[in-house]
Structure 1
Amino acid sequence: MIVWLNGTFGAGKTTTSAELVRLIPEAHFFDPEQVGIMLRHATGLPKVEDFQDWALWRTLVVETVTRLAGQLGGVLVLAQTVLVEDYWQEIRAGLETAGIPLHHFVLHADRATLVRRIEGDPQLPPSWRLDHLTAYQDALPWLSREARIVDTTHLPPTGVAAHIAAAVTPDRT
């Protein structure tokens, strides 16, 4: 089973992922962004602003996740923002073809909370992440159709993770 955490920067995907791996027995984490980072080192690929624009990234994410799920078993938790509906459809279709159950969640927070979280994160400069808030808002209608929305505005990551864990493993006590 795959639990995919989507949402914009500052929504809590990374922190919630770590909590989910702690909460769900036999859960493992994989960051699809690493596939994009790997591809950035390849020469000859067309220049793109976002590695998700490469069809190769989407193909390799599906292949990597499929093989990891087969190798590791259990639950594979992924945290990756995907805001282009066609890209998500391609990834989802690939995972469905592989026969892997997929649970898609969007971690959401109000804009003021996102801005505060992004500006308060010392690890990355906020400008690039702040620039993507509008793209996230624009994607929210299709994301709402494709995923379960979890509002993280007033819920700590442990609470978000507990909510998601209960949704994907309902027999868990």
Structure 2
Amino acid sequence: MIVWINGTHGAGKTTVSALVQALLPDARVLDAEKVGETLMDITPGLPETDNFQHWPPWRPLVVETARRVLDYTGGTLVMPMTVLVEQYWREISAGLAEHGIPVRHFVLHADQDTLRARIEGDAVMGPSAFRHQYVEPYAEAARTWLHAEAEVVDTTHLTPEQAARRIVESLG
């Protein structure tokens, strides 16, 4: 199974994913961003883009990487990754379904004021213009499709530990 943890940049996906992994037996974290980083390392580079998710190979490579890892290890993959483009989510989820891989899709949500404050106060990364630029696209995705396609965990008043426990409890 895959536990996909979505949400905008700075929502706490990486932190919560590590906590979820620790609570689930036989679970591993696979960050799909590493697939994008591999594509970014190709020389000469792929066509210019502001987001590696726009490269057509990224989505099927995420599916294939997850499938191969699960075939090898079994268990659960916890995958923290922001996906705000509905077509991209459809490609990934359909690809995983074609391989018979069940996916539980969660979105970490916080209201915009809380999210902006967390981005500004991040002690590890510091304030991030990159993260701020995705606050509005996330809000648009949340309104139009994302929240309907996932189990929303409102983290506005939750600690990362509480959010992780909610996800694991939801898994049963």
Range class of TM-score, shorter chain: over 0.9
The one-letter amino acid of 1:152's match is T
The one-letter amino acid of 1:13's match is K
How far did 1:94 drift?
0.2
Structure 1 stretches lacking a partner, 5+ long: none
- The one of 155, 163, 167 equivalent to 1:164 is 167
Quote the residue 2:158 is aligned against.
155
Quote the residue 2:76 is aligned against.
75
1:15 aligns with 2:9: no
Quote the residue 1:123 is aligned against.
125
How far did 1:10 drift?
2.2
Deviations 1:106-150 (A, max 9, x none): 000011111111111242541111011000001003011110110
Structure 2 stretches lacking a partner, 5+ long: none
| Runs of 4+, deviation exceeding 6 Å | none
| Matched ranges for 1:134-149 at <5 A | 134-141=136-143, 142-149=145-152
How far did 1:47 drift?
1.1
Distance 2:45 2:3 in 1: 33
Quote the residue 2:39 is aligned against.
39
* TM-score, with structure 1 as normaliser: 0.94
Paired residue total: 169
Aligned-residue CA RMSD (Å):
1.0
Distance 2:126 2:103 in 1: 30
User: Match of 2:57, SS?
Assistant: helix
* TM-score, with structure 2 as normaliser: 0.95
User: Match of 1:166, SS?
Assistant: helix
